[in-house]
Amino acid sequence: MKTMKGPALFLAQFAGDEAPFNSLNAISEWSASLGFKGLQIPSWDGRLIDLEKAADSKNYCDEIKGTLAKHGQEVTELSTHLQGQLVAVHPAYDEMFDGFAAEEVRGNPKARQQWAVDQMMLAAKASANLGLRDHVTFSGALAWPYIYPWPQRPDGLIETAFGELAKRWTPILNAFDEAGVNVCYEIHPGEDLHDGITFEMFLEAVDNHSRCNILYDPSHFVLQQLDHLGFIDVYKDRIKMFHVKDAEFNSSPKQGVYSGYQPWVDRAGRFRSLGDGQVDFKGIFSKLAAADFDGWAVLEWECCLKHPEDGAREGAQFISNHIIRVTEKAFDDFADGGADEAANRRILGLD
């Protein structure tokens, strides 16, 4: 068996214009002081990384690794959540998602999509230059506005959507394959890949591409009322990345999983800091250890109540306490009497 690596921290929710969150060196020093051993870097944040430069220059990537190494850390993965989202955008969301793109392609959906694809191609090269094996992104969504079947969906609508999604992503998956890197889709409401069934639909549409994999984040399953432990049993061979994030779902006579358009603090399902929600992390870490998951346990802090710096400090210790250092021997080895084929046959009464 293999031991999971960690704790690590996803920087998207922490990067900012004030020190120590405004440069990779400063945020690395700060997070290392809390106990984090790795950093997952959002590739769109120029304060932390220049994606184009990382794709073009291994020397630049070595500088990034050297910056983190000074503080006893390493890069765990790159993230293209925002760019991946723009690979497939339903027109209903054009204006709301436009801010994710470079200014020169805003207001032009076709140019924006091509920009997003180009960004993904850069991310494949940058990941290879950094020596990474996994990458996290969003799938984007064409069918999400039709998640609830009212009015009745026309026959073939969803199949057409997933066919187009696969057409857009297959060249990207091929580029990541050439780079030797897995694409791990975060299974997430708002994406066409938002549960196990939709992941399977997409996987079939991309012809079971070996680089099509999963970032496992149990918080999104709690909000959807999915079995977050059973999910590991079913998809363990495709789970290559892990966001450690907590959530809770509080039943109410007034709202359910859709939460009545309420702000996060008033929703039935809401994200919480580690240990404050309902996710069964003991079960998760046990199942991932049994499945030989040797990737990183990465804290993604999102909480509608607790201060992020408190969430990060507590989260580093929480993850450290849950990582299982797997055993190299069986607990009952002391009672091993030894045997051979002849002895086994005698025991079974076969001689």
Greatest extent of the chain over all pairs of C-alpha atoms, in Å: 82
pLDDT score of 327 more than 80 = yes
Rounded CA-CA distance 122/220 in Å is 28
Burial of 43 (0-12, 13-18, 19+ CB in 10 A): buried
DSSP 8-state secondary structure symbol assigned to residue 91? G
Quick: pLDDT tens for 34-58: 999 999 999 999 999 999 999 999 9
Summary mean pLDDT of the chain:
96
Band of pLDDT at residue 340, cut at 50, 70 and 90 = confident
What does the pLDDT read at residue 223?
A: 97
Q: Are 319 and 38 in contact (CB under 8 A)?
A: no
| pTM, full prediction | 0.96
For residue 104, the model assigns a pLDDT of 98
**Helix, strand or coil, per DSSP, at residue 93:** helix
Residue 251 to residue 298: CA distance in whole angstroms? 29
Please compute the mean of the pLDDT values over residues 14-32 and round it to a whole number. 98
* Section 253-259 average pLDDT: 95
Write out pLDDT tens, residues 171-182: 999 999 999 999
342 has a pLDDT exceeding 80: yes
Q: How far apart are CA 276 and CA 298, in angstroms?
A: 17
Q: In the predicted model, what is the mean pLDDT of residues 319-344?
A: 86
Q: What is the pLDDT of residues 278-287, one digit of tens each?
A: 999 999 999 9
- Domain boundaries, given as residue ranges, for the chain: 5-347
pLDDT of residue 3: 95
CATH of domain 5-347: 3.20.20.150
pLDDT at 1: 81
- As a whole number, mean pLDDT of residues 54-67 equals 98
Query: Percentage of the chain with pLDDT > 90?
Result: 93
The pLDDT score that the predictor gives to residue 329 is 82
Examine the pLDDT at 117 and tell me if it is beyond 90. yes
Q: pLDDT digit string (tens) for 151-209?
A: 999 999 999 999 999 999 999 999 999 999 999 999 999 999 999 999 999 999 999 99
pLDDT exceeds cutoff 90 at 334:
no
Q: Output the six-digit token pair for 258.
A: 């859709």
